[in-house]
Structure 1
Amino acid sequence: MKLFKNMHWPFIFGFLFFLSACDGDESVTGEDKDSARTEGHFSLSDGGSSSGGSGGGSDNGNGNDNEDYAGLVTAGEWNDLENWTFWESLLNGQDYSEIPEYWQFYTNNRVAFLVNGVGGSLVNAKVEISKGGTVVGATRTDNLGRADIWLGLHQKETVTDLSAYSLKINGTVQTVNLKRFVEGVNEVTLSSSPENLSRVELAFIVDATGSMGDELEFLKADLKSVIETVESENAAIDILTGTVFYRDEGDEYVVKHSGFTTDINTTVDFIGQQVANGGGDYPEAVHTALSTAMNELQWSDNARTRIAFLILDAPPHYETAIVNDIHNSVKLAAEKGIKLIPVTASGIDKETEFLMRFLGIVTNGTYVFITNDSGIGNDHIEASVGDYDVELLNALMVRLIKKYSE
């Protein structure tokens, strides 16, 4: 890890007084969260990588839309798709071997594609794998013509023979001998020319429960700066933004959302109105937020880029129906070509980290985690990743948006 060296520490420490002012009598304490982790969560060894974040925070955000909070939170990014051997070694090791069974995500049957047309990569091409006439995996290519499909995603068995599987791209059967990623990337070249797509859809799914009170105001300012920066620096693309904020069952609300719009002020104003409150127990209504984002936001069929940032500090409730609901939302995201990019805040545990990484992997996204380097918020566990750069969160998010839309 390369440490971020340009933080203005005196300035940041002044904001710690703000954090203490946010603490309330009804906050979810670190002790509450540690207790909740033992209910429905097996204990994982972290190999010494975890610093044991407590994640306690205020039940009351103040809704202050202070632009001075932007550009202070630090974070790292780790792309498991680009570090596949590392990912497989984690899951094959002793510490995390039970994780796939726990969340029912098995990523051992990866089938990767690079789809080109006449003159360049085919963007937004619909890629489908079928067996016996039934589609078993579908997604869309990204801005670089890349796509990944996962066979038997919720089954432990390894698929070694793909001769019974067929491939369609944009509805046309392709004559190709499919191979798993361990054998290489399936490169397909079509006679069609790439479309000049300019639509970029960005969704922000945000946990607004009380435990986010230590970081939410900073994150709101960062989201505002991200939206405004992307809009000002990318005149050649049409940017639409939308948001989903969520809490938990029994709170003032479970989800509230603002649909896609080209008017960034609508999204920025909606974000500015949100405060941290509610929650109480450790898990939150993540599954409802994901379902809302996938089904209620107006994702188009002809976008160049679709990204949903999922910002949270707690896992979903660990119940079979809820886990299945998450599976369905992730499947739908992959089919629509929506990259899920989780951003984890203080308070997550290892089970949550790996679930978020599954979400990024299966939807051809990546994983972002807030770090302790800024001194903002409660303690953040050390992610189980390789070497990474510490960046300002807002700059990191802008970088990823550019990477997946240029």
Structure 2
Amino acid sequence: MKKLLIIVLTICMVVVAGCATAKKPAAQNGNGTNTENGGNTVIDHTTKPGEYADGVIGENKSESSEHGDGIVPGSVYDKDGKIRYDSGYATEAMPAVDIDYGEYPVDVYVPEPVYPGGIEDGQITAGTLTAGEIKDLDDLAHWLTLWNEASWDNVKKARGLNVENVIAVKAAPMAEVKLIDGDNTLYTAVADIYGNAYLLYKAADNGKAAAVVSGSDRKELTLAPGAVVELTQAQAVSAAKLDLMLMIDTTGSMGDELEYIKVELKDVIERVRKEQNIDIRISVNFYRDEGDEYIVKYYDFRENIDDCVAILSEQYSNGGGDYPEAVHTAINNVLQHNWRQDAVKLCFFVLDAPPHSEDEIQSINAGMLKDVESMAAQGIRFISVVSSGADSDVEVLMRSFAVMTGGTYLFLTNDSGIGGDHQEPTDTQYEIEPLNDCMVRVIKDYVFAK
């Protein structure tokens, strides 16, 4: 009997010791972020084959905000996205979704209410929305002139932007390139398939000695606006891999165009998947704002393109409440994904509102700019798709982020007749084309050498 008791006690001690040494799951704070990593969510990519690291940041099912049942007050949807009435789910006619007028700035056209569940497949055809592109990196002299526009001053000051001093570098295709000052790295970028890379520095460093390095290549220079550095003359090479990300604002103000955008994006995905000799993965992601049903709903990169299309089809617009949205949280989430080091990395950011201000969230601008610099260091190109209702704050930020990461600026236009009013960009010299064609062209420009 005593021997049996000793065996039982020994087993219990082993079990307790194992529990004590086991790693506890990361704690979650009020907005669903990982408190073991400075408040930033880190996605666990140690998944088994066929599994994905999908999840939600800031899932909100509190009694105060969603009555404890996952439903946002005033929403016609339940927590599963189904249409609801007090007596149950809709089976016939559907009520119109209430537009949150507080989400639109003054003098912006507010769309008519849209119907829950969106528009049935087949009622919208791809190629309906129209768009333009401005790639400021193609004309850095003009970018410097534009940067001194008085109309941009308030945004630059409020957001702490320093994007006027750009160094154009010619390096080996897809090589890492750094701007260094002694032992300090001032900026890091990744060259595109043509070997073009862009490095930024602060105006206070003008006239200082620095060096541009990439692998064993190195050139000294004196920092000056518009500097050009040629490290090598390598031939352009088409990419073998593409990681394509979509990050989409799904707040209420997107309701006038979201169903059209979904159709355009699905067409883009289908056309890109048909390209030969390219290994493609796609990640579709969605964001709203603090206090909404979710802040960011993210999906890992997938080779199963049909899965991505299905996820995209399920999304609908809701929430928001004020004009700014959780853009900063969405940008941070871009960095948490499992990007392949040897792939072309493109992030299309679909939005109609700016991030919150410094008055609302302390240090938001510094954190956001640091994340965009990290995108540049990883070779992730920021490509906006600016929708109706966006103001000059959105334009200046999105064009700046494109310059910082080697990306480009896309925007919807009024030519389609769809949605609210689309603000003209500061430059008026651009070509109008269907959004789907524009996006496919841009993707091919980054992937296939001409």
TM-score, with normalisation over the residues of structure 2? 0.73
Which of 176, 180, 200 is the aligned partner of 2:219?
Answer: 176
Q: Which amino acid aligns with 2:333?
A: T
- The answer to whether the 8 A contact 2:345-2:379 is kept is yes
Cα 1:79/1:175, change in 2 over 3 Å? closer
CA distance in 1, matches of 2:159, 2:326: 16
Measure how far apart 1:94 and its partner are: 2.7
Partner of 1:313: 352
Which of 195, 211, 218 is the aligned partner of 1:166?
Answer: 211
Partner of 2:159: 103
Q: Which amino acid aligns with 2:145?
A: S
Cα 1:277/1:240, change in 2 over 3 Å? same
Partner of 1:217: 259
SS of 2:219 mapped into structure 1: coil
CA distance in 1, matches of 2:313, 2:226: 48
Partner of 1:142: 192
Measure how far apart 1:300 and its partner are: 1.2
CA distance in 1, matches of 2:212, 2:335: 25
- Report how many aligned residue pairs link the two structures: 351
SS of 2:375 mapped into structure 1: helix
- The answer to whether the 8 A contact 2:193-2:237 is kept is no
Q: Which runs of 4+ in 1 moved over 6 A?
A: 192-196
CA distance in 1, matches of 2:228, 2:240: 27
- The answer to whether the 8 A contact 1:28-1:57 is kept is no
Measure how far apart 1:193 and its partner are: 9.1
Q: Which amino acid aligns with 2:266?
A: K
CA RMSD, 1 decimal:
2.3
Q: Which amino acid aligns with 1:322?
A: I
Q: Which moved more, 1:65-74 or 1:327-336?
A: 65-74
Partner of 2:97: 24
**1:151 to 2:201 alignment:** yes
CA distance in 1, matches of 2:96, 2:221: 56
Cα 1:56/1:354, change in 2 over 3 Å? farther
- The answer to whether the 8 A contact 1:61-1:216 is kept is no
Q: Which moved more, 1:198-207 or 1:56-65?
A: 56-65
CA distance in 2, matches of 1:399, 1:22: 39
SS of 2:245 mapped into structure 1: strand
Partner of 2:121: 66
Q: Which amino acid aligns with 1:97?
A: D
TM-score, with normalisation over the residues of structure 1? 0.81
- The answer to whether the 8 A contact 1:58-1:276 is kept is no
Measure how far apart 1:351 and its partner are: 1.1
Measure how far apart 1:132 and its partner are: 2.9
Partner of 2:338: 298
- The answer to whether the 8 A contact 2:194-2:237 is kept is no
- The answer to whether the 8 A contact 1:60-1:210 is kept is no
SS of 1:87 mapped into structure 2: helix
Measure how far apart 1:162 and its partner are: 4.0
**1:240 to 2:281 alignment:** yes
Superposed, which structure 2 residues align to 1:43-54 within 5 Å? 53-54=108-109
Partner of 2:34: none
Cα 1:107/1:359, change in 2 over 3 Å? same
Cα 1:60/1:104, change in 2 over 3 Å? farther
Measure how far apart 1:175 and its partner are: 3.6
Cα 1:308/1:82, change in 2 over 3 Å? same
Q: Answer 1 or 2: higher relative contact order, Cα 8 Å, separation at least 6.
A: 1
Superposed, which structure 2 residues align to 1:274-285 within 5 Å? 274-285=315-326
- The answer to whether the 8 A contact 1:58-1:210 is kept is no
**1:79 to 2:135 alignment:** yes
**1:352 to 2:352 alignment:** no
- The answer to whether the 8 A contact 1:334-1:363 is kept is yes
Q: Deviations over 1:308-349 (max 9, x none)?
A: 000001111112422222112201110000110011101111
Aligned residues: percent identity?
35
Measure how far apart 1:372 and its partner are: 0.5
Measure how far apart 1:57 and its partner are: 6.5
CA distance in 2, matches of 1:132, 1:139: 18
- The answer to whether the 8 A contact 1:63-1:272 is kept is no
Q: Which amino acid aligns with 2:138?
A: E
Cα 1:370/1:363, change in 2 over 3 Å? same
CA distance in 2, matches of 1:333, 1:130: 18
CA distance in 2, matches of 1:293, 1:22: 35
Structure number with greater Rg is: 2
Q: Deviations over 1:213-262 (max 9, x none)?
A: 11001101111100110111x21111111011001111111111111111
SS of 2:167 mapped into structure 1: strand
